[in-house]
Amino acid sequence: MANIKSAIKRVKIAERNRLRNKAYKSTVKTLIKKCLLAVQAGDVAQGEVALRFAYSKIDKAVKRGVLHPNNGARKKARLARKLKQLEAQAQTVAPSA
């Protein structure tokens, strides 16, 4: 443990920030999982709604410095690609039915 007063304060601040960042990352992971589950179930509408929520939370995490901008962009791109694949499959199946 630190002995200097300012170092003790920094330890407290670092712990507070760590918990806040952990909560943000956990929320982002949960929203990504919801989006992927909707895609896996084949529900395009639910996937788009989940994608919108995930985008919002990822952007906020990047803005607050919890995620690196490239990391956030990569997560968003992967989600969008999964949803686009599902939409393409839905369009190819729907006209022939």
Structural domains of the chain ordered from first start: 18-96 (1.20.58.110)
Q: What is the mean pLDDT of residues 1-10?
A: 91
For residue 87, which of 53, 55, 47 has the smallest C-alpha distance? 47
**Residue 13 CB burial class (10 angstroms; 0-12, 13-18, ≥19):** exposed
Q: Quickly count helices (H) and strands (E) in the chain.
A: 3, 0
pLDDT over 70 percentage in the chain:
96
Q: What pLDDT does 65 receive?
A: 94
Q: What pLDDT does 42 receive?
A: 86
Q: What is the mean pLDDT of residues 20-36?
A: 96
Q: What pLDDT does 43 receive?
A: 87
- DSSP label at residue 2: -
Q: What is the mean pLDDT of residues 57-65?
A: 96
Q: What is the pTM of this model?
A: 0.82
CB under 8 Å to 76, separation ≥6 — which residues? 54, 55, 58
